[in-house]
Amino acid sequence: MSRTLAREDAFKLVFEMELTQITADEAINYLFDTVDKTNEMWSQEFISAANRKYIESIVKGIEEKKAQLNKMIEPTLKDWTIERLSKVNLAILQLALYEITFMDDIPVKVSINEAVQLAKKYAGNESGSFINGVLGTLIKNSERD
């Protein structure tokens, strides 16, 4: 299966963790226990070893670096706070920013494009523009540093 589908499932787990306060291990176990042809929640019917490794790495990484990621995101939110941000947009931003910051094997443009596509699918076109703007600002700010 493609990395895009694995990323979508990872997003769903990060969103679930944000919404319910479960741990990364609990979320990951739920995915691996329920992914099959009868569960319509997941993007994949079978998770390859490579996608399993990616999902585990990114979901656990986001859990570990959540405070750092949010601290990076918050200054880009004009007149907003992390708490006011929709949980969908927050999960997408955390996922993309984690990839950009901590996963050297994923091109920045791919992380941004995939984040925009997730936002359009799960939160609407306006969220796609919002996500693109926030990530673009973060990239520009990091290039100046």
Distance CA(95)–CA(8), nearest Å, equals 10
Question: Is residue 105 within 8 Å of residue 98, measured between CB atoms?
Answer: no
Per-residue pLDDT of the chain (145 residues; tens, 9 = 90+): 488 989 999 999 999 999 999 999 999 998 888 876 566 677 767 788 888 999 999 999 999 999 999 999 999 988 888 999 999 999 999 999 999 999 999 999 999 999 999 999 999 888 999 999 999 999 887 765 5
Question: Is residue 111 within 8 Å of residue 100, measured between CB atoms?
Answer: yes
Question: Is residue 78 within 8 Å of residue 108, measured between CB atoms?
Answer: no
Three-class SS of residue 82? helix
The contacts of residue 45 (CB under 8 Å, 6+ apart) are 35, 36, 37
Question: Is residue 102 within 8 Å of residue 66, measured between CB atoms?
Answer: no
45 secondary structure, DSSP code: S
The pTM of this model reads 0.92
